[in-house]
Structures are given as structure tokens and as C-alpha cells.
Amino acid sequence: MTDIHVLFLNASLKDSSEPSHTQELYEKARKLYEQEGAQTESIRLADYDIHYGVTGDEGDGDEWPQLLKKVKRADIVLIGTPLWLGEKSSLATQAIERLYGTSGDTNDKDQAIYYNKVGGVVITGNEDGAKHAAASILYGLSHIGFVIPPNVDAYWVGEAGPGPSYLDGAASENAFTNKHIEMLVYNTLYFAELLKDHPIPAKDNTL
């Protein structure tokens, strides 16, 4: 499985000079991916100057094109996001906008370039919004060409109201969240390999 590339796009609003709860949850997935022999890369979107827009390259200083290259190379793309007011972050929204910007680009079979790639999400919030954010992101990925295996929405949220975030308390022991990390890793890997051996044939799905 050494030829499976996993790309984690962490849409935390903080850059990598600060800890990210979502990053910490993803670390559990990363270890499992690497145990299985996959190669992983993790990006903090806030470290990059990503311009607003819906194209693949917004010109002059836009750093999305270098991230898009990583997306093109990846077999598995995971979007990580915190939750604010029950929604995915603005950076997660922007990542989807920019991915959408090249959804009309095609592979050598005239399918969208995201065909045969596998999507998933890793989400943390101190309370509420994970499923809504997961639905939005997974739908966006699916609509532009990604495959969504079962159970690829790993998340942690706490009880209603202000309270500890993922890193602050005992969240790392949450059995439900940990189980979902395992399912995310295993199911994305299985589909990524399956699609390497059996890529989706071109038929009515060309652009």
C-alpha cells in the first residue's frame, strides 16, 4: 500500500504556529494510515495565502495552485474543520470553492480530475455541528467527483455550551470518535486501493 497518498487539508482558522484540536484528532488517523503503509501529508490551510475565487489559479500570489497539485497527486483527500456557530470554517468553505474551481478539468478519460479519489472528513468542535459540516463537505466532494465510502466522518464534539475542546479534556478517550477514526482510515484505504485496480470506466460520466 506504499503507493497510496493521503492528503489532510486542515481548515483550522489558526496557522501551524498554534495547536489545532482538529489536527490532534487527525493524528490518530495518520498513525493508522502509516501503520498500513500509506504516505501522508498534512496541510494547515491557514499557512497559505489562498485567494478568494472559483478558479484553479487566482493569479499573483495565490498559493492554491501548489495545494491543488497535492490534491491531484493524492488518492485520499480529507478535509479537517473546526465548528463555529455549528458550521464548517470559512477556510473549509474556501477549500471546497477552490476544488470546485477545477471540477471541470478532466483526466485522460474525460472524467472530472477528482474521479477515483476518495474523500472524508475529520471534525472537532467544543459542541454541536459536526454532522451538518460533514454533510456539506462530503456532498461537495461527491458532487465534484470524489467517492465517499461508508463511515468517513470522524468527529468529536462536547456537551452543549462552552466547555472543553478536543485537546482540553478526556475527548481522546471517546470510544465512538476513536472507532470512527478507524472506520475512516480503513474504508478510505480500501476504496483507494480498489479504485487503483478498478478505476471508474468512462461512459456517461465524462464531461
Distance CA 70, CA 78 (A): 12
CB of 156 to a copy of itself, least distance (A): 5
Binding region for a copy of itself (CB under 8 A) out of 1-9, 59-67, 72-80, 198-206: 198-206
- Residues that contact a copy of itself, how many (by CB under 8 A): 74
Distance CA 173, CA 83 (A): 20
Q: Which residues of 188-197 are buried (b: 16+ CB within 10 A; e: fewer)?
A: bbebbbebee
Among the listed residues 31, 69, 73, 131, the single contact to a copy of itself using CB under 8 A: 131
Q: What is the distance of C-alpha 103 from the center of its chain? A: 16
| Binding segment (CB under 8 A) for a copy of itself, from list 2-10, 62-70, 72-80, 146-154 | 146-154
Cα distances (Å, whole numbers) of residue 99 to 38, 48, 73, 117, 121: 23, 15, 14, 13, 15
Residue 2 within binding range of a copy of itself, rule CB under 8 A: no
User: Which of residues 80 and 140 has its CB atom nearest to a copy of itself in the complex?
Assistant: 140
Q: What are phi and psi of 80, to 5 degrees?
A: -105, 140
Restricted to residues 38-97, the positions that interact with a copy of itself (CB under 8 A) are 46, 52-54, 84-91, 93-94, 96-97
Nearest distance from C-beta of residue 115 to a copy of itself, angstroms: 6
Single residue of 146, 168, 172, 192 touching a copy of itself by CB under 8 A: 146
Which grid cell is 74?
493524492
Is the distance from CB of 177 to CB of 171 less than 8 angstroms? yes
Query: What does the CA dihedral 121, 152, 177, 74 come to, rounded to 10 degrees?
Result: -50
State the DSSP code for 163: -
- Shortest spacing between CB 74 and a copy of itself, in angstroms: 15
| Contact (CB, 8 A) for 88 and 128 | no
Give 4 or 138: the residue with its C-beta nearer to a copy of itself: 138
Q: Which positions from 152 through 191 interact with a copy of itself, judged by CB under 8 A?
A: 152-153, 155-162, 171, 174-177, 179, 182-183, 185-187, 190-191
Nearer to a copy of itself, 5 or 180 (CB): 180
Minimum Å gap between C-beta 5 and a copy of itself is 19
Site string for a copy of itself, 96-125 (x = CB under 8 A): xx--x-----------x-xx----------
